[in-house]
Amino acid sequence: MDGEERKALEEAFIAGFRDAPDKRAFLGLAGIPLAIEVPGATGLRLLEVRLGDRYRVGAAAPGFGTRELSYQPLPGALVTRSTTLAFVYVSADSVRELSLEDARDAAAGEDRAPPEPHAAIARGAPA
């Protein structure tokens, strides 16, 4: 799947998940596992579906001949929004954030382990 297809799939998932009256049933329809077994480790359990909105309200670039940034606030019509999506899985040993693609691959039984714990959210690390 290329980047454009991945983005379209994530956008469709986000819209459907937000509108779904039964979020858990929607996860099942989308092929997102509630549990992932990891060979040689404790299993992972789905704890959260994280959706985060971001709004780009300005543009910044290096200044010429100075360490100051050249900053331009964007006019209202040019402000853009993007939404991030992550599936947060927990075990007794770690917390892992998976992408939609990684979670669906785990459900399909792909022969690869889920990504290692993210350093900023690994158990005991400051967030």
pLDDT band at 87 (very low <50, low <70, confident <90, very high): very high
The predicted pLDDT at position 116 comes to 53
Query: pTM to 2 decimals?
Result: 0.73
Gap between the Cα atoms of 72 and 83, Å rounded = 23
107 vs 10, more confident: 10
What is the per-residue pLDDT across 2-60, written as a single tens digit (0 to 9) for each? 889 999 999 999 999 999 999 999 999 999 999 999 888 889 999 999 999 999 999 99
Gap between the Cα atoms of 109 and 37, Å rounded = 10
Gap between the Cα atoms of 93 and 117, Å rounded = 10
19 vs 112, more confident: 19
Tell me the mean pLDDT in the region 77-93. 95
